[in-house]
Chains A and B, each alone.
Chain A
Amino acid sequence: MNAIILSALGGIVMMFTGIFTQNKIVIKNIAIITLLLLLIGNLLHFYGIYMLHVDVKDMLQFNNFGLFFNTIAFTSTLIYFLLSGTDITKVGINVAEYFALIFFVLCGVSILTSFHNLLMLFLGIEILSIPLYILTGADKKNLKSNEAALKYFLMGSFSTGILLMGIALLYGASGNFSIESVPSTTSKVAEMANSSILTPLGLLFVFVALLFKVSAAPFHFWVPDVYDGAPSVFTSFMATIAKAVGFIAFIFLFESRIAELGPSSRIIIPFVIILTLLIGNITAVFQQSVKRMLAYSSIAQAGFMLFVLYSNNDISSEGILLYSVAYSFATIGIFAILIKMKDYTFEGYNGLAKKEPLIAAANTIFLLSLAGIPLTAGFFAKYYMLLSAIKANGQNALWLVIVAVLFAAVSVYYYFRVIQAMYFKEGNPEIATTNTSFKVILLALAAIIIFIGLFPTVVLNFLYF
């Protein structure tokens, strides 16, 4: 509850900061302090200290899992502010509003990590999405940004429509909005219609809408254009925190109900996973721009995260948290460097190692982590996902796991192209001047990724406090 209240208040605080001051540094620092308060408030919830006692009528339920994801999301945002905060202030004139919108997204995140009711799911997704539409179009003078915002908005509202339809059908089947499957005794619709059709159909609609939000194939078509068109700072945020939370919503919703999707779920989910991996990886191989490559790679990473639906056990739940950490931290780092580059193509990175050895080294570690090379957090993220799949289905999962690792090998191809450009090719990359604190934070982030790569259980121990 703390997180929801504080993030909403934080957004309002940021809005009003923009009225009273135009000083970018002040605004940025206020945002960082507010975020710290939010983080502390969320941690206090762990220890049972609440700001308000609100009777939420069981529409929200707080557990360690969701609170821990909140912590991950807020920490990632904090790192994001520290690394790219200055670049946020350079997007346009409404500096404070950008921060305010990010806080509203975090409010959506906090709702999605605690919803226990389909209405709250809908609210959470909307609160999450609408600020993102605006952030996508923040670069008002840029036609590509405008196009991306409109595309995102149209596609997003379409998927929201599908979500609503699904919720309506589920309501029809059970007579209430609870996410648990309570067979209805009162609903007349359920008596009249054959409710054995309504429930799977409703779940399928919700499933599709959420697949859209996490950019899984075949509902991924908006991703490349939106991620490419949006200002790079906001792409970084969209591709990490706003996306990972989709999987948390998935877990809450489908933890107990995946079987109700009908026997076809055993076919649909592997199909979606493989299609996502295929499209994400193969298309990323052909990209010339690092930013666009990262957009496709984020689809590919979603393919791995979707294993959480396939296996749906305790290992996969732990795995998705680890995956969120590994993926968010690494992607935020890569984008923070990308923003500083003038040329977003692979050639733009040529010879970076010579010019900025520290930045290149950190970037290498982030890329290795995304590729899932051992000693980095990314390895254990993928490891947990594969482990959970084998645990869930044993021999039958083996083929899916093998296909997934083959695609992981494909992903090495495009991640390493950046490394090749930085280290093995000659060139004079144009990179904005960076101050020492930027480099220190970047290296600290790289160190954290390696630390998690050595001791992943340290992170997960938070779950069992």
Chain B
Amino acid sequence: MISLLLILIPLFTGLLTFFLKQEKTAKNFSIFSSVITLGTVCIAIFFAQNNQLLFNTQWLPALGSRFSISLDGMSKALVLLTAISFPVVFIATYTNKYKSSHSFYALMLLTQAGLMGVFMATDALLFYFFWELALIPVYFLSSIWGGEKRIAVTFKFFIYTFIGSLLMLVGILYLYFNTVVPSFQIKDLLAAKISLKEQNILFWLFFIAFAIKMPIFPLHTWQPDAYEQSPTAVTMILSGVMVKMGLFAVLRWLVPLFPESAKTYSNIVIALSVIGMIYASLIAIKQDDIKRLIAYSSIAHIGLMCATIFTQTVIGTTGVMLQMFNHGINVIGLWIVADAIEQQLGTRKFSELGGLAQKAPSLAILFVILALANIALPLTNAFVGEFLMFNSLFQYNVWVAAIAGISIILAAVYTLNMVQKILYGNTVAATEKALDTTLNINWMLIVLVVIVFALGVYPQPIIDLTKDTVNVIVQNR
């Protein structure tokens, strides 16, 4: 029952926010709502009994679809990430001005409801519903409040993901007809009788949908544009939480449903992921824009996670679970820094920035820590995750791991380059009058940095959360 609350709270507060015409009220109300959600998630994860985390009721009896959600190990980490990121984003961007801001916050909360649903649904049709429900508010958010080229860019993003999700729908329908009893429940789909040939077709139908969302190399073209043009608060959610939808879906649906195909095609998928990692890292080096750099760096990180999933080892999958959470924390931190710089100085270009450390020392310290976490330095959270993942890739194939390893070096190149150009050197015209960041941003960054260190030193809590399901996923093959 408590898991249902996690969807209902943001859904209803979101709908309510549409009617709060006062800007301040809407802001405070949505922060309030997201904090309540966070509290509920904490209670659910740390105190509730297992049976309270399930919710299963009749929805469309004629179709064999049930409204069933479950907060199991796999979803716990991501639900927690979703719950943490929304209040952080709201507070960190508190001073940002939006026209008709009540709609902005309302749509953000609806996105949260959709994300929660995606991570918890155990019914394929319901999963598809939430998958779309998370997409549509983001489409409006980015198109209304985004940058100059927002309409075309966001539309590209929408069409890409919509094509993907429709292909997934076809796959779901096909599986449905091969279940023993007509049902969309994941356990019934797992028991579906499908031949190897059918499995291979369905694998690609699902994989394209998830690959677009992650995104994986040839299907990634929407991503840098969308990240750049969306309002930063939305970009934080997009890259911090939404791309995890793709990875999560691969773990929850794709690999368990089509274990043989996942094995057959693992070499293709891993090759694509590794190509994407190197390709995105190389492009990131050439960027002159903070947002685009983080976007490409994100593609590289996601590529590593996707590759690791398909090695199908316990250690690797644990690493992916951990890293999904960590990457969300780190990348949101980086976006907050990017937004703070853009809001104050009005530019995101390195070439127009420099010497910010003299003017904004506290921002500089936090930024450097987050940047180091992005390179996965030891003591930061990302180190543990990436170590586990590379370990798994080495077991799979030494050469793949070696090539993928290049991306760590490249990550260091572009991240440190960015840090150096923005923070150090002489102050330029734009940074001459810069002030240090405001308290709300600093506090949120501190929260994130604390998580970075905490999980860097002691990642066990997150690993414990996901332990059971990792075994299930890997055993299942």
Contacts and interface: CB of A to CB of B under 8 A. Distances in A.
A405 B144 contact: no
Interface in B130-181: 132-133, 136, 140, 143-144, 150-151, 155, 158-159, 162-163, 166-167, 169-170, 173-174, 176-177
Contacts of A368: 136
A373 B136 contact: yes
Contacts of B62: 457, 460
Contacts of B163: 405-406, 409
Contacts of B60: 455-457
A402 B143 contact: no
A424 interface: yes
* Chain A interface helix/strand/loop/mixed: helix
Interface in A350-388: 368, 373-375, 383, 386-387
Given A386-B169, A457-B63, A423 B174 contact: no
A391 B159 contact: no
Interface string A316-340: 0000000000000000000000000
B63 A420 contact: no
B151 A420 contact: yes
Nearest to B131: A374
B170 A402 contact: yes
A465 B170 CA distance: 31
Contacts of B424: none
Interface residues of A, number: 29
Interface residues of B, number: 30
A371 to B, nearest CB: 9
B140 A409 contact: no
B55 interface: no
A386 B151 contact: no
Contact of A423 (B63, B140, B176, B205): B140
Contacts of A401: 170, 173
Interface in A390-418: 390-391, 394-395, 398, 401-402, 405-406, 408-409, 412-413, 416
B162 A386 contact: no
B61 interface: yes
Contact of B167 (A405, A423, A425, A455): A405
Nearest to B150: A424
Nearest to B135: A373
Contacts of B176: 387
A374 B133 contact: yes
Given A374-B129, A423-B140, A424-B143, A405 B166 contact: yes
Q: Max chain A CB contacts within 10 Å: which of B143, B173, B177?
A: B173
Interface in B342-359: none
Contact of B159 (A374, A395, A409, A456): A409
Interface of B: 60-63, 128-129, 132-133, 136, 140, 143-144, 150-151, 155, 158-159, 162-163, 166-167, 169-170, 173-174, 176-177, 198, 201, 205
23 contacts: A368-B136, A373-B132, A373-B136, A374-B132, A387-B176, A390-B170, A391-B177, A395-B201, A398-B170, A398-B201, A402-B205, A405-B170, A406-B163, A409-B159, A409-B162, A409-B163, A416-B155, A420-B155, A423-B140, A423-B144, A424-B144, A424-B151, A457-B63
